[in-house]
Structure 1
Amino acid sequence: MTEPAHPHSDRELALLAAARTADLTEMLAYLASCWDEEKRLLARRLHDSLGSSMTALTMHLALLSQHIPPENKAMRDRSAQMKQLLATIIETNRKMQLELWNDKLEFLGLHAALAELVPAFGAEHGLTARTSLPDEDGHYSRTQGVVLLRCAEEGLRNASTHGKASEVEVILDDDGEQVMLTVRDNGLGPHDCDGAMHSLDCHGLRLLRERARYLGGELVLARGESGGALLRMTLPREVQAA
């Protein structure tokens, strides 16, 4: 007669749960990295193909416009409208590229990417957005730079959309052993995607938390000392994948 299998001990169950959590964290980090790479490649294609084509069209239109007689006002007006339309398409394409992938991060580093992102976000959404950055850019891996930049983007979006903030600040600290990015605002406090008070229930924040965990760091969302929300990601300078 076969004896019934003994149930797992509490310690064994805890080890199994920890192993499963580590596996899921690794899988999420891998999927997020693949997603980032796809966005980077798409942004590059938009730049190399559509961007160059629109620039060439603008040049051709400028040459054609030079041959329109001054007395032909209708044609000159139509030419001006076409120039404006092309300029709008080029600007839309540029914004799409930036939303997909920030080239400054890849070529100039995190410092330059944040210095461009934060004031541009503030101008677009009508809030005061400031940065506090080290004098010199640290040398981070691409993965670290992407995750820290995604944290800044998520914090800015939450401050504007859910927190209804009028001021937001992005702070980057680096003590040589770990790097810490903080986004704090003067809004309503930590809210999730549906507007309810929460810790880290929004899918975007949950994914960021797992990506930070995979790199040996952590993501914290809390109410700031003076109100508003405080989103902070801390990563070790040396990547410590779980």
Structure 2
Amino acid sequence: MVLGADSLLRLRPPRGRMADAALAGGVFVPVALGSLRSLIGEREESWAATVLGWALIAAACGALYLCRRRPVLTAALVLGATAAYYFTSVYDGPLMVAFVAALYAVSAQGHFQAAIAFAALTVIATGIGTLAGNHDVNGVAVFMLTGWLVGVVALGWVRHNRRALAREAEERAASEERLRIARELHDVVGHHISLINVQSAAALRRLHKDPGIGARNAEEALGAIKEASREALRELRVTLGVLRQVDEAAPTAPAAGLDRLDELVTAARLAGLDVRVQCSGEQGQLPAEVDLAAYRVVQESLTNVTRHAHATAVTVRTDRGPRHITVEITDNGQGPAAAAGGGAPGSGISGMRERARALGGELTAGLGPDGGFTVRARIPYTNGVPSKP
């Protein structure tokens, strides 16, 4: 029978309790085969001693079933059973293999001192037995045994360190992903919620100031609020798509980029800002990560102006060079005093800086040349030049 690709993919090493049972059985088979001469051929010991020897073999190998959950206890049980076997049996079987497996498990799970103690105790006991007249083990054998045990402990410790490094890398990647998602949520939700807040506050002020005119203007404000909330929900679904289950459909909405700059400008104008856009430089499709970062810088900057700057006009400039894009947002607001949520260290400016730095760029924020506040980001292309459409 020929196994297909799907069948081969399903052939995975056992895990959990199955792996424990496989280890115990896998060690028992060669140990039992190596000890068969105690059952066949001429008798060198009584049947009672042979039965005891096989019981100790079964106990030592069976204890390996616990080595993943109780490595130190397992090593102690295996060492005791192995020592008892070699003291009571005249057959020099390969039961030491079971102890070597247990010793490796102890070291691989981080119990380095316990592994050294078990290895030293084994070497000392074997050396004492050799000095006491055990002709089956000589000085050379003790020396070789010492080397084997040291090697097993070292291999286990290397395995432990590799797994620890792998866990740290996974945790670091997970932390970076959480920060990325948090930054996306801040940019998406914060921008649209700020616009909703500004529009609703403006509508309330108009209603209180002049109910007749305010009622007519409220319809426009409610329309802007509806559009902003709908856009917030759409972008939120796209952002949270990275957390979807395997069987869920992928988001189909277009990714955020500078080609959607008009949407940001329209929303800001509905909030009462006079927004001017100046685009210069080369044309073409930006790399996705650069396009998204530039869009988010503009989005967060307009959010900060809407919420904090008390500005009436904003200028958004983009300049695409051969190797980088420059985005600059300048308002005529109150300068650094307006930056309580934007210019001072906070999630807004720091998030934009993180985006720029993650792509090898830089972002500055401070007083503009003619007053107000200026955010300027310079983001290089990953491949040196923007891709052409």
How would you bin the TM-score normalised by the shorter chain? 0.5 to 0.7
Q: What is the aligned partner in structure 2 of residue 205 from structure 1? A: 349
- In 2 relative to 1, CA 144–29 (structure 1 residues): closer, same or farther, beyond 3 Å? farther
Residue number among 76, 97, 107 corresponding to 2:233 in the alignment: 97
Aligned-residue sequence identity (percent) comes to 29
Matched, 1:120 2:267: yes
Q: Aligned AA for 1:142? A: A
- For normalisation by structure 2, the TM-score amounts to 0.36
Matched, 1:143 2:143: no
Q: What is the aligned partner in structure 2 of residue 157 from structure 1? A: 303
Q: Distance in 1 between matches of 2:323 and 2:351?
A: 24
Q: Distance in 1 between matches of 2:330 and 2:293?
A: 17
Question: Match of 1:150, SS?
Answer: helix
Contact 2:258 2:291 in 1 (8 A): no
Superposed CA RMSD in Å reads 3.8
User: Which structure's CA Rg is the greater one?
Assistant: 2
- In 2 relative to 1, CA 206–135 (structure 1 residues): closer, same or farther, beyond 3 Å? closer
Spell out structure 1 runs of 4+ moving beyond 4 A.
25-29, 35-39, 87-93, 101-105
Q: Distance in 2 between matches of 1:120 and 1:88?
A: 7
Matched, 1:231 2:370: no
Q: Distance in 2 between matches of 1:189 and 1:179?
A: 25
Deviation at 1:28, TM superposition (A): 7.2
Contact 1:182 1:231 in 2 (8 A): yes
Structure 1: tracts of 5 or more residues without a match: 1-24, 40-86
Q: Aligned AA for 1:171? A: R
Per residue, is there more helix in 1 or in 2? Answer: 2
Question: Match of 2:363, SS?
Answer: strand
Residue number among 132, 136, 139 corresponding to 2:278 in the alignment: 132
Question: Match of 1:162, SS?
Answer: helix
Matched positions, count: 165
Contact 1:223 1:230 in 2 (8 A): yes
Q: Distance in 2 between matches of 1:98 and 1:136?
A: 30
Per residue, is there more strand in 1 or in 2? Answer: 1
Contact 1:192 1:202 in 2 (8 A): no
Q: Which has the higher contact order (CA 8 A, sep 6+)?
A: 1
Deviation at 1:119, TM superposition (A): 2.7
- In 2 relative to 1, CA 90–185 (structure 1 residues): closer, same or farther, beyond 3 Å? closer
Structure 2: tracts of 5 or more residues without a match: 1-171, 187-222, 240-251, 385-389
- In 2 relative to 1, CA 99–164 (structure 1 residues): closer, same or farther, beyond 3 Å? farther
